[in-house]
Amino acid sequence: MREKNKKIHARLSKIIGSAIKIAAAAAFVLTATLNMTLPVSAAKQINETVSLANARKNERGEGYFWDNINDTLTLNGLNIDTTDDYGLKLPDNATVVLVGNNKITASKVALLTTGTTIFKGSGTLTLTAGETGIMLADPSTLGKVSFLSGTYKISTPGDGISSDKVKLYISGGEFEINSGGYAIKAPSVELNNTKLTAKGAVYSADPLVINNAAVEITANRDEDALQTGKEFRLSNIKLVAGPDAASATEAEGAEYRGGAFVKTAATLKMRAYSIVFGGKVPAWVDYVAFGVAGLGVAATIAVPLLLKRRRYLKRLEQLNQTK
């Protein structure tokens, strides 16, 4: 009898442990989702270059935190306004997470990457520079900079995003580039599932890829809005092009044949709204709902098991006392 009771006790403990883990996971999802919506307080203005290019430990400043172990820089209300040549310098293999509104102003280059870098987050990064908004630098040809999400606004009399050797992949987010030179210039440029509004041409030495992206580019009248050293690879878009917006016409088969103005519309539908609540409720609400539901399910399972375990222990104690 005692051996049987031990087996029942072990089985109940395992079930309760699993239920507690489910509840903890659901609580984590709910907390993380709610934290994404919390307001961000403004940080004090920084009047000099913030250089993390040679970071070897955690570094914290007004509006930023560098997690050295994970090579992650979180920008949370960053405000750099400097007469120095550079605003922010990043190390190789960095991940930048945007939270809230962030601004960088510098006399030459607002943001300098020095190798492979990933940008993501739900925040905004506004860059104002005397020469180049974002400069992608790497002594080798191995560098790769990826933008996965976030909102980026760049203003400069020179190039918006410029690279000699680093490849550029934009796979999400929104970009507004107002440049006097190229809006984007890199050895390789891919625009996927993004929104780009630019004054200034886009140039890729390798094939220029535009896939399911909403792009509107206005270049100088004597140059083409899209330029490549090889070929255009355009897919999942409707494209209109011409010498200017007023005379642009739809291109058959989304084939670009030149023109200072280009506008595309993405033709693949990406889910941006809730499938649970419908309407214009944002998709992230689904995660909150799933988290709350998970908590409810966990509570429904855990509470009866806890009560049952209490009754079982009490009964076990009574049996032991009768022996």
Rounded to whole angstroms, the Cα distance separating 64 from 158 reads 27
pLDDT given at position 311: 76
pLDDT given at position 28: 46
pLDDT given at position 30: 45
Taking the whole predicted model, whether its pTM rises above 0.85 is answered as no
Residue 204 near residue 179 (C-beta atoms within 8 A): no
Which amino acid, one-letter code, is at 282? P
pLDDT given at position 195: 98
Rounded to whole angstroms, the Cα distance separating 244 from 3 reads 85
Nearest CA among 201, 154, 196, 155 for reference residue 172: 196
106, β-bridge pairs: 129
Rounded to whole angstroms, the Cα distance separating 183 from 173 reads 16
Rounded to whole angstroms, the Cα distance separating 242 from 225 reads 9
Residue 59 near residue 68 (C-beta atoms within 8 A): yes
Residue 67 near residue 90 (C-beta atoms within 8 A): no
Residue 83 near residue 128 (C-beta atoms within 8 A): no
DSSP 160: E
Residue 111 near residue 134 (C-beta atoms within 8 A): yes
Backbone phi, then psi, for 88, in 5-degree steps?
-135, 130
Backbone phi, then psi, for 290, in 5-degree steps?
-65, -35
Residue stretches of the chain with pLDDT short of 70: 1-42, 270-299, 302-303, 316, 318-323
**Sequence spans of domains, the chain:** 2-35+295-322, 50-266
